[in-house]
Amino acid sequence: MSDSATASPSVASKPFNWRFTTPLYIGSALNPINSSLIATALVPIAAGVHVSIGQTAALVSALYLASVIAQPTAGKAAEVFGPRRVFLTGILLVLAGGIVGGAAPGLLALVISRVLIGLGTSCAYPTAMVLIRQRARAAGLEKPPGGVLGGLMIAGVATASLGLPIGGVLVQFLGWRSVFLVNVPVALIALVATLMWVPRDQAIEHRTARRIISDLDVTGIVGFALAMTSLLLFLSSLPTPNWTLLAATVVLWALEIWWELRAGSPFFDVRLLGRNAALTRTLIRFGLVMLCGYVVLYGITQWLEASQGMSELGAGLLLIPMTVVSGLVIVPFSRRNLVRGPIIGAAVACIAAAISALFLPTPAWLVITLAVTIMLGFAQGAASSNQLALYSQATAEQLGTASGLMRSFGYLGSIASSAVTGIVYRTSVTDTGVTTIAWIMVGASLVLLGISIFDRTLGRTAAPTT
């Protein structure tokens, strides 16, 4: 899908006004918020639909699995069908998911709702990246203003920890169904705003069904979905590993790589990741920062509730500084298009947060928790410069898929953090367990620092790629 070539007078004068960016930001915020929104509702959901609390974990994994698969798929579809069409399709899926969840009679319907919400919200971020690049090209700009990408990063990443306090308030005052129904009015607002303010895509050229299947690389998408599903099922089996699932995972990934190396229009471009080592490092860095953030979101909040007696709402409110600091940090870095400095700063902040977390089981636990959340908020905000790096490292034709892969790597970080928490807390939530989690954060942060400092392809500022 080529970029729009003609700039209207309004686009040329003020291309990134609030009308254009508002629906993109709203849509991009829905996925991270929904990822944690459900956490405070699991216990009342179990009581409401008469299942065990353990069974409600499927509601968390359903959205994660749908998101990991759908993020790069949406990026690929945006390149084939047009980003606005895919963005609107995603909003309609979110709307349907909210309605299904709000009226669900049992757990199966709730799982279906979460899958729909995961698929729908995953369409927003990669298509927004493509729409922003098209808008910049139409306005005759080499790249969009840094603040635009920074705003997208605030919406797409910094809002993740907002889900816990929002969910706590919704459940407390409106009941557990509200965590599903809240998507309905938000989706309607995003739908109307997109229809009114986001320019239409170019007409789709006529394609045969075989051409569409080839352009989308449907076989590659299915292979990626099967391989990722097998991987996530294996991780969920820990700490008692299912070796059959591990073997299936290895075989499925081998087949996926074999296919993609031969595909004419690969979905999961293995050669791109091999040739473009800078892009690969950017994806890994983003995943490691998200791993550290989600370890706090899951592991440390569980410790606060189990060992320190905090309520779910109280633990969620304690994480608000992470969101606030992240949003504040993103703005100056993105406006100046800074890349190398903030990326290294994010790694240093992760190390500082991890070392601080080693001292959580002390009388100063509340102050240390606040310090950890503030430092990780800085890390997530500074890590937004990985998005600027990606924008420079991926060509226009690769941007949608690369942006989706970036979000998939972020979700792999969150899934890995969930597996870590499950292993460490396999019998009970203890002070020793939270210290073990802190040491894991130290190790991940040191790897992050290494691939940040020694990456000589990172410039001081972002440079556009054609």
Q: Which of 370, 376, 328 is nearest to 352 (CA)?
A: 376
pLDDT for 219 equals: 92
What distance in Å separates the CA atoms of residue 293 and residue 353, rounded to the nearest whole number?
10
Question: Could you write out the three-class secondary structure of 155-213?
Answer: HHHHCHHHHHHHHHHHHHHHCCCHHHHCHHHHHHHHHHHHHHHCCCCCCCCCCCHHHHH
What distance in Å separates the CA atoms of residue 369 and residue 318, rounded to the nearest whole number?
8
- The pair of structure tokens assigned to 323 is 């969101």
Question: Can you give the C-alpha Rg of the chain in angstroms?
Answer: 21
User: Which comes out higher in pLDDT, residue 2 or 141?
Assistant: 141
pLDDT for 131 equals: 93
Give the up-direction half-sphere exposure of residue 459: CA atoms within 13 A in the CB hemisphere.
12
CATH superfamily of 14-200+207-217+263-453: MFS general substrate transporter like domains (1.20.1250.20)
Q: Which residues have C-beta within 8 Å of that of residue 303, sequence separation ≥ 6?
A: 360, 429, 431, 433, 434
> In a 3-state reduction of DSSP, which class is residue 461?
strand
Sign of CA pseudo-dihedral 326, 64, 58, 184: positive
5, burial (CB in 10 Å: exposed 0-12, middle 13-18, buried 19+): exposed
The helix, strand and coil proportions of the chain, stated in percent and rounded to the nearest 5, come to 80, 0, 20
pLDDT for 12 equals: 52
Domain ranges of the chain: 14-200+207-217+263-453, 218-262
Q: What DSSP assignment string belongs to 225-282?
A: HHHHHHHHHHHHHTTS--HHHHHHHHHHHHHHHHHHTT-SS-SS-HHHHHH-HHHHHH
What distance in Å separates the CA atoms of residue 199 and residue 178, rounded to the nearest whole number?
32
Report the amino acid identity of residue 454: F
Q: What angle do CA 326, 70, 232 make, to 5 degrees?
A: 85
Quick one: pLDDT band at residue 1, thresholds 50, 70, 90?
very low
Quick one: pLDDT band at residue 147, thresholds 50, 70, 90?
confident
Beta carbons of 102 and 180 less than 8 angstroms apart: yes
Q: Which of 355, 345, 365 is nearest to 460 (CA)?
A: 345
Q: Which residue has the tokens 């909210």?
A: 98
pLDDT for 462 equals: 67
Query: What is the mean pLDDT of the segment spanning 22-48?
Result: 87
DSSP character at residue 459: -
pLDDT beyond 80 at 464: no
The structure's pTM equals 0.80
pLDDT beyond 60 at 174: yes
What distance in Å separates the CA atoms of residue 114 and residue 62, rounded to the nearest whole number?
6
Residue 45 phi/psi, 5° resolution?
-65, -45
Q: What DSSP assignment string belongs to 304-363?
A: HHHHS---HHHHHHHTHHHHHHHHHHHHHHHHTTB-HHHHHHHHHHHHHHHHHHTT-SST
Beta carbons of 102 and 50 less than 8 angstroms apart: no
Beta carbons of 65 and 337 less than 8 angstroms apart: no
Question: Which residues are bridge partners to 338 per DSSP?
Answer: 461
| pLDDT tens profile 86-128 | 999 999 999 999 999 999 999 999 999 999 999 999 999 899 9
Cβ count within 10 A of residue 276: 18
| pLDDT tens profile 380-399 | 889 888 888 888 888 777 77
Task: Identify the H or E element spanning 77.
Answer: helix 57-81
pLDDT beyond 90 at 167: no
pLDDT beyond 60 at 6: no
> In a 3-state reduction of DSSP, which class is residue 3?
coil
pLDDT beyond 70 at 466: no
